[in-house]
Amino acid sequence: MIYEFHINGETFHMEFEEHIEAQKALERDLYGYTYMLNGRTYQDISLFKKEKIRQRSMYTAIYEDEYGERVFYCHTSLPTFDFGDREWDSAFDEYIVYDGKDVNLVTSRQGYCIAELNIYKKLLSVERGFEPYIRELGYPVNPNIYTAI
């Protein structure tokens, strides 16, 4: 599965082993949705922001999660036109997380409620320009992961 990650005006193609789409919420909030990543249990996106380590820019930051791992957070605000947009569709967030074994990506579309969660398991490759971000997070990754996709 190829994912396009956008940051600072650049696009990086990331290849993951597996993609899981949580049930899209139709009048159902996904807060509380649980999933496993290599034996660790995560609940929606709430465990990713235990403590802020560093604000990188207005829309990106490094956090520590509940397991003591660094998380790269990227926020995109979406325009809203009515209460429904504010409730379900006012932001798109991306979290690059390390589960003790693999690098993963979790995305959420939400407002006051989480409308959609996507889990991309086990980063297989990423374009070479993404190296500084992975290094900043301190994830132990095989140097052969960096490639031109």
Q: H or E stretch including 137? A: helix 131-137
pTM of the model: 0.93
Task: State how far the Cα of 64 lies from the Cα of 38, in Å rounded to an integer.
Answer: 18
Domain hosting 15: range is: 2-147
- What tens digit of pLDDT does each residue of 13-25 get? 999 999 999 866 5
Residue count of the chain? 149
- What tens digit of pLDDT does each residue of 88-111 get? 889 999 999 999 999 999 999 999
Total tally of structural domains belonging to the chain: 1
Query: Letter for the amino acid at 133?
Result: Y
